[in-house]
Chains A and B, each alone.
Chain A
Amino acid sequence: MTGLRASSAGARRTNVAFAAEGPGRTLSLVATILPTAEIELNPIAAEAGVRSLAEAHGVPVPHVHAVCTDPGFVGGPFFLSDRVDGESVPRRVLRLVHAEGIGERVAGQLGEALGRLHAVDPAEAPDNLMDDPSENPAEVALAGADKMVAGLPLPRPALAFGIRWLERHLPPAPPRRTILHTDARNGNLLVSANGLEAVLDWEGSVRHGDPMQDLAWPALRMWRFKEDGREIGGFAGREPFVAGYEAAGGTFDEDRFRWWKVLGTLRWALGLAGQSAAHLDGRFRSIVMAASGRRVPELEWDLLMLVRPD
């Protein structure tokens, strides 16, 4: 092994890039290491498994070579995958994409990647992938958000307004439930001058979800990084994204898509409020977590704009 370097350290995991030199060839690899097995969303083998399954169905991902669930070697479970060149830091991705004039291409490729993922039979997913047995994932998501809004330390009527809208527009169970990535937004995409190279970070993927949840999440304003006029990750508008999705066999449902955009925005407001609470009650003292509390009005604004009364 040569050229070891930490390529990125997320909140939950560390990525270490290195070259593995063997007889006759050298592989350029990344080790994705979870600090402890306790905080993983999906077991690491399930994450690697769903990634390989997606790859087999034509979704661009870094190829997984090996999975190790024994924490004895590097302090936590890990897997090894190909190192793919490209940008993943959102603002740099957007600079690159707009310098190259490939915003529509990237939005289309993301739609296509999600379309291919959603075409996979959920029965093929790894046995230990997170699952939700409910027929209507929207109902479960709403109940969870409602409970969290009720539990906030300060009343937030803008979030109550969002909950009311979600209740009154709750979609019925989706015609098909599919495997979801759940976080395929600008920031978890590897992009080069050629376009979308890979969809990263499959740790939150689930076996059965409403496919429109996956399409709505990358369309939220917070993933546009000031490119507010370009709905899909700051890359482009909705049209190429939906066209890519449908070309890969997906069925776009506009009402359902909007519902999940509202739910996602509300959830992000709750996430920020939760970070601030974790700072205040001492679970996680950090200036960054404290600052999150003052970001809640941004999400309240975005939410109000999405649920404007007729």
Chain B
Amino acid sequence: MQYEPSAEDLLAAMAELLEDELMPALPDALTHKCRVAANLARILERQERLGPDAATREREQLRALLGQDGDSGALSARLAQRIREDDDPGFQRQAWDALVAITRDDLAIAKPGHDAWEGI
């Protein structure tokens, strides 16, 4: 089966339609929803491009941190539990580092640039 244009190309085309053609033609009451929909199309476009590698990295991070195997969902649940129970400061520091790396990858898809801020 051939997918041409790709999902990424089609999502970009949908975002352009929403941003450039529909938004200016809509009544004020609908522009916010249209902007949100356009932004979601952009998020999914980035997800198509960046998602597979990010998912692989997430699983690797979790496996290395926890020393066990499983899918990302099961490993995340295990990590959430260990964070609550494990008082070793070394583990907590490693968990924080891994969560920062995973969240950075999430943000590259959901909100590029949000990770420029580092506190206060």
Contacts and interface: CB of A to CB of B under 8 A. Distances in A.
B31 interface: no
Interface string B94-120: 011001101110110011001111111
B110 A304 contact: no
A301 B39 contact: no
A25 B104 CA distance: 59
Contacts of B115: 301
Contacts, number: 89
Residue of A158, A288, A308 contacting most chain B CB atoms (<10 Å): A158
A302 B77 CA distance: 21
B92 interface: yes
Interface string B12-31: 00000000000000000000
Secondary structure of the B contact surface, majority rule:
helix
Interface string A265-305: 00000000000000000000011101100110110111011
B107 A309 contact: no
A297 B120 CA distance: 18
Contacts of B120: 231
A298 B111 contact: yes
Interface residues of A, number: 31
A228 interface: yes
Given A160-B84, A308-B119, A298 B107 contact: yes
Secondary structure of the A contact surface, majority rule:
helix
A10 to B, nearest CB: 13
Nearest to A290: B40
A156 interface: yes
A3 interface: no
Nearest to B65: A157
A123 interface: no
Residue of A161, A290, A295 contacting most chain B CB atoms (<10 Å): A161
Interface of B: 32-33, 36-37, 39-40, 43, 73, 76-77, 79-81, 83-84, 89, 92-93, 95-96, 99-100, 102-104, 106-107, 110-111, 114-120
